[in-house]
Structure 1
Amino acid sequence: MISQPSAAQVGNPVSWKNGVVSSADEYASKAGLEILQKGGNAVDAAVAVQFALSVTLPRAGNIGGGGFLVLHLQDGTAAALDFREKAPIAASRDMYLNENGEYVSRKSKIGHLAAGIPGTVDGMITALERYGTLPLEIVMEPAIRLAREGFILSHSAARSLNSASERLSEYRGSADAFLKPGGTPWEPGDLFLQPDLAETLERIATLGRRGFYSGITASLIVEEMKRGGGLITMRDLRDYRSIWREPVRTNFRGYELIMMPPPSSGGIVMTQVLGMINRPELDTTAFNSAAYIHLISEALRRSFADRNYWLGDPDFVPVPADSLTSPHYLRLRMQSFSPDTASDSERISHGDVIHTVQESSETTHFNVADRFGNVVSVNTTLNGSFGSFVTVTGAGFLLNNEMDDFSAKPGEPNMFGLIGAEANSIQGGKRMLSSMNPVIALKDGRFRFAGGAAGGPRIITAVLQNFLNMALFGMNAKEAIAAPRFHHQWLPDQILVENLWFSEDTIEKLNKMGHNVRRSGNLAIVHTIASDQEGNYVGAADPRGPGYVAGY
């Protein structure tokens, strides 16, 4: 088995004194760096990165989707912003079922009916207004320039556009925006221009929220909905608002973690898993040994069972967050744990709690830290790669297919194999449950780590392991992000392990315990930043996919 990678294998991360940006795209990271160097803070730069990603990473970076933002400021302020998409008011519980009550999965994944109300633009403006220091038109300059003047396609960007060309060609707006004129494939080195998107971004920069949720852009969205039988109306757009929520906080072996609450499931799941694995045997298990994988997988099995039953939009359903994360409850959940025998997911259901009324795979994540000590961690998505494949004609941006993240029919799996329950059923105006998981970790009150990932439910397990690699095994940012990963999500009842990284001996030991181990391709793509022993910033982009770290 290849265990902890050495510094010689992956190299030591470069450090910077004043600021750092880690994202999935070179242009976007440089856009954030440009704003930092102009005197902006981490929030200013994060907004610049988000809008730049909407230009240079169309399959995931977006203004037609939504996400979550977690921040920690130099003065100790911590905040969590929910700009998750919402179901249109006209959405109904059984909208994806046929006359026989059977789930028609394509309808929630492809086309106009799959789109929820976008939240990204409102989220970025809301964050900037409360914590930013520069005007919107300044932080949006890099994105508008990239859309108007174009950017050079990398090999991965050209391949991504070409791989989706057949589906994109089904929709007029998508064909206009993303297919190469003349019908030939995109090539690395081609200049990619997006004049319609540039106009849309300029309206936002000039008019703010009104430049997207009303006026020309809103009219184009509604016209697109009418063209394809979608549900989003002018009222839906007008009424959308992102929400500041109280972060989920947990402590683990000297670290304080700040995470998103529901409708993100990441904070609850990570809090549960860290509580369940904080046992004496953790100190004697080697990195990625069979015993280590077994312990974490058993905790994940129980936590995902809870996630899928209890969690949903807290504005619509009571989420018993305090009960689900209490030490007493977590001890009860692990009473059935055996150190040498796998549990059966068919027998491990959700736990019983005191119910109170309290509180793609193509996602992308980025992190920013500034010279003042402020840190921002953002997860954003269209859900599937290229979302619904529907581009708003004349506006140049793709719409999400986030409606698939609801439980279209409780008990039926979504595109990621997650099986939901009543708490996440479809209702007009409701936010769908998410696996996005932006995390900031402190130690002794100082920033130590920020990270997140792309990859559906694998986001949670990848970020968890990335943090544990640093907190338990002392890896630096590049070692932690390059280390091999595994994944368990309750159902289907299996452990996925990345190809080539895990020995037959380890897999055989897990199988003898009763696990169903399957080899897999890359499990999520992570982006992180951290602070080193000298207090400088370091960053890491996952070698499993495109990414870029910029600092000064």
Structure 2
Amino acid sequence: MTGRILTAMGMACVLAGQGVAQEAAFFSDMDRIHPVWAENGMVSAQERVAAEIGRDILAQGGNAVDAGVAVAFALAVTLPRAGNIGGGGFMLVHDAETGQTHAIDYREMAPSGASRDMFLDDAGEADSEKSLRSGAASGVPGTVAGMRMALENYGSMEWAEVIAPAIRLADEGITVTPELADSLEAERDNLSKHPSTAAIFFKPDGAAWRPGEKLVQADLAQTLKAVAEQGPDGFYKGAVAQNIAKAIQAAGGPMTVEDLAAYKPVLREPVRGTYRGYDIVSMPPPSSGGVHLIQILNTLEGYPIGALGHNSAETIHLMAEAMKLAYADRSEYLGDPDFFDVPVAALTSKDYAAELRAKISNDFATPSPMIKPGDLAPYESDQTTHFSIVDKEGNAVTNTYTINLDYGSGLVAAGTGVLMNNEMDDFSAKPGVPNAFGLVGGEANAVAAGKRPLSSMTPTLVLKDGKVWLATGSPGGARIITTTLQVIMNMIDHGMNVAEASTAPRIHHQWLPDELRIEEGISVDTLRLLAAKGHTISEKPVMGSTQSIMRDPDSGALLGASDPRRPDAATVGF
């Protein structure tokens, strides 16, 4: 069985303004929302064609990592707004035979010419145009090197074999979907600034691509062929690297061919925690996601969340207060561990969570200006994308990667077809000043040559009795952590299946700004109770695009769901 839930979000949205009784009735009837089911393997991704490529790799006998690498390269063609080889990200790989989980950090790195104050204007203030739209906005991409590390260490198929589907898609063209057409038109101003970009994503006369038409990316196909034939050297050295460096420098950035040749991904130890008898395994720094996911779960574990009810005023209040405390700590303590001693053990300890609970009032919201980072011993983007894969052996991949904002910096390096990232904005251009996602950072995340910017990407595995129970993650910038959190809590605390957990309305608080962000679908009675506790409530567009797979511990069957918030997403299996 394959398919997606298309009506669930609409069902949730009609609840707005109907009160607690209607909300409770909806969630008590959530068993009408069914996940996708499979026996032998499953892929959940933000774009259907790429997901089907991953499924086909599994059906051919490839493992989860083989499928993951194939999906990652395919998304560079089919989901140009976020899928990439001009960016970077994080991957968790679980080996079912050994029981070990490995974390691959292929986050972008600052070029050797980067400096602390490179994104300040003449008045010493942060200049977002520099950090988002100039050549200086791009870090050295890590995706190609990261995928090679994953395949060499944990895959079973040949490199060229898993890249071949992406080459075919770029060469023969992809069918433009309504979502792709809409996103290109929405970014017309940024994409039209660079002739090399406009030549690909608009017609020769400047007209938009329309749904159903074929979009061919011939230069990207040639780059992918070079990578397939030469390995990472086909990207980080030779003509592709020269063209990337030339384009970046022409746009005012410092990246050199030497920077590209020097890029290396890193194997790291995942961060680990527990929540109500389940093991949580997630990405370590330079991701802030795993640390603060576990920190928030630890804090909430001291409350009877299940008994308080899903999206009740009491539950949302406690979640928001725990989120605020974690995001305050993020501003102080999180950065690249190769440059800064991140206190991971302290932040993820149960004792520290107990200290945080003591700061939370059940009755009143603590104003964010009164919250400071915890006193510890010294020591991503709406346009990100995520995919999860589980194979018949129980091996699992959960991967989040990005070029930051929609279509990154908007610059395609001429002759390569590669859209460049604007991940340098994820550094703290000026400590205390928010970035594009409103996140505040400090000295730990200041710009430095060779450093990896802090990220919120949170690819996560939940294990039960040593076996993968859930693989999940999401795009969403600052909201990635809390989106992933709520899928886990919905399943563990509220007994939802994976489709219900993916569909339910979400909330978010990131300390600053001091507002409780909600999706449409939360009862107005609940919102009144939250306002009475002192929360400033802000209804905003939907959050995240989770791609999740659950493995039933008894039967071994796979149950998956793609978030209905993104229309092209798909979960497929066999």
The question of a shared fold, defined as TM-score above 0.5 by the shorter chain, is answered with yes
Q: Is 2:444 the partner of 1:401?
A: no
Contact 2:306 2:494 in 1 (8 A): no
The alpha-carbon deviation at position 281 of structure 1 amounts to 3.7
Work out whether 1:512 is the aligned partner of 2:532.
Answer: yes
Is contact 2:404–2:422 with CA below 8 Å preserved after alignment? yes
Report what 1:20 is aligned to.
42
Write out aligned runs for 1:271-310 (5 A).
271-310=294-333
For 1:541, the equivalent position in structure 2 comes to 562
Establish whether residue 484 from structure 1 lines up as the match of residue 497 from structure 2: no
Give 1:370's aligned amino acid.
Answer: D
- How big is the shift at 1:8? 5.7
Give yes or no for contact 2:88–2:106 (8 Å, CA) kept in 1: yes
Which residue of the other structure, out of 89, 92, 106, is the alignment partner of 1:67? 89
After TM superposition, list the pairs within 5 Å mapping 1:318-397 onto structure 2. 318-356=341-379, 360-397=381-418
SS of aligned partner of 1:334: helix
Residues 12-58 of structure 1 show CA distances to partners (whole Å, capped at 9, x for unaligned) of 12311110000000110011112111111000000000000000000
Query: In the alignment, which residue of structure 1 is the partner of 2:57?
Result: 35
Q: Structure 2 CA distance, aligned partners of 1:226 and 1:245?
A: 32
2:358 partner SS: coil
CA distance in 1, matches of 2:37, 2:207: 42
Cα distance in structure 1, aligned partners of 2:556 and 2:325? 37
Q: Does the aligned pair in 2 maintain the 1:304–1:490 contact within 8 Å?
A: yes
Structure 2 residue identity aligned to 1:18: N
Q: Match of 1:458, SS?
A: helix
Amino acid across the alignment from 1:172: P
Is 1:417 matched with 2:435?
Answer: no
Alpha-carbon spacing, 1:7–1:207, altered in 2? closer, same or farther (3 Å): farther
CA drift at 1:5: 3.6
Judge conservation of contact 1:222–1:234 (CA < 8 Å) in 2. Answer: yes
Aligned to 2:480: 459
State the 1:59 CA deviation.
0.5
Q: 1:7 to 1:60 in 2, by over 3 A?
A: farther
Whole-angstrom CA distance in 2 between matches of 1:508 and 1:154: 40
Q: Which residue of 2 aligns with 1:56?
A: 78
Q: Is the 8 A contact 2:308 2:315 kept in 1?
A: yes
1:391-445 deviation per Cα after TM superposition (whole angstroms, max 9, x unaligned): 1111001000001000000011001100100000000100000000000111122
Deviations 1:151-196 (A, max 9, x none): 1111111111122122111102111221123322211100110000
| Residue 387 of structure 1, CA deviation | 0.5
Tell me the distance in 1 between the aligned counterparts of 2:512 and 2:481. Answer: 15
SS at structure 2 position matched to 1:457: helix
Distance in 2 between residues matched to 1:77 and 1:477, nearest whole Å? 24
Tell me if the contact between 2:387 and 2:399 (Cα under 8 Å) persists in the aligned partners.
yes
CA displacement at 1:9 relative to structure 2: 7.1
Retained in 2: the 8 A contact 1:159–1:186?
A: no
Q: What is the identity, as a one-letter code, of the residue corresponding to 1:424?
A: N
Any conservation in 2 of the 1:224–1:392 contact (CA below 8 Å)? yes
Amino acid at match of 1:530: M
1:520 Cα deviation after fit? 1.2
Q: CA deviation at 1:7?
A: 5.9
Structure 1 CA distance, aligned partners of 2:32 and 2:570?
15
Q: Give the Å deviation of 1:305.
A: 0.4
Note the C-alpha offset of 1:216. Answer: 1.1
Give the secondary structure class of the aligned counterpart of 2:366.
Answer: coil
- Mapped to 2, the partners of 1:224 and 1:47 lie a distance apart of 27
2-structure distance, mates of 1:281, 1:550? 35
For these two proteins, the number of residue pairs brought into alignment is 548
**Equivalent position of 2:286 in the other structure:** 263
Counterpart of 2:504, as a letter, is A
2:36–2:572 contact (8 Å) kept in structure 1: no
Q: 1:16 to 1:408 in 2, by over 3 A?
A: same
Aligned to 2:545: 525
- Equivalent residues of 1:305, 1:350 under 8 A apart: yes
| Equivalent residue in structure 2 for 1:44, among 66, 69, 78 | 66
TM superposition shift of 1:330: 1.7
Tell me the amino acid that sits aligned with residue 57 of structure 1. Answer: L
Q: Greater shift after overlay, 327-336 or 285-294?
A: 327-336
Question: What is the CA–CA distance in structure 1 between the aligned matches of 2:307 and 2:31, rounded to whole Å?
Answer: 25
The alpha-carbon deviation at position 283 of structure 1 amounts to 4.5
In 2, Cα distance between the equivalents of 1:220 and 1:56? 23
Contact persistence 1:111–1:389 (CA under 8 A): no
Alignment of 1:143-292 (within 5 A): 143-292=166-315
Secondary structure of the corresponding residue to residue 193 of structure 2: coil
SS state of the match for residue 140, structure 1? helix
Cα separation, 2, equivalents of 1:265 and 1:124: 21
The sequence identity of aligned pairs, in percent, is: 46
Alpha carbons of structure 1 residues 105 and 8: separation in structure 2 relative to 1, 3 Å? closer
SS in 2 for 1:481: helix
Tell me how far apart the structure 2 counterparts of residues 71 and 419 of structure 1 sit (CA, whole Å): 30
**Partners of 1:7 and 1:479 within 8 A in 2:** no
Residues 364/277 of structure 1: CA separation in 2 closer, same or farther (3 Å cut): same
CA deviation map 1:463-496 (0-9, x unaligned): 1000110111111111110001000001001111
Question: Residue by residue, what CA displacement relative to the aligned partner does 1:226-274 show, whole Å, maximum 9, x if unpaired?
Answer: 2211111111111110000000011111111110000000111011101
Q: Deviations over 1:374-400 (max 9, x none)?
A: 000000001111110001111001000
Letter in 2 for 1:54: A
Secondary structure of the 1:496 match is strand
Shift in alpha-carbon separation, 1:8–1:432, aligned structure 2, 3 A:
closer
Which stretches of structure 1, 4 residues or longer, exceed 6 Å deviation after superposition? Answer: none
- 1:459 CA drift (Å): 0.7
Deviation at 1:314, TM superposition (A): 0.2
Q: Distance in 1 between matches of 2:155 and 2:531?
A: 51
- The one-letter amino acid paired with 2:541 is G
CA distance 1:20–1:355, change in 2 (3 Å): same
What is the rounded CA distance, in whole Å, between the counterparts of 2:491 and 2:535 in structure 1?
27
- Does the 8 A contact of 1:71 with 1:440 survive in 2? no
Q: List per-residue Cα deviations over 1:123-171 (Å, max 9, x = no partner).
A: 0001101001101100011100000011111111111112212211110
Contact (CA 8 Å) 2:36, 2:571: kept in 1 or not?
no
Secondary structure of the 1:20 match is: strand
Partner of 2:12: none
C-alpha deviations, 1:278-331, integer Å up to 9, x for none?
114434311100000001111110011001110000000111111112222221
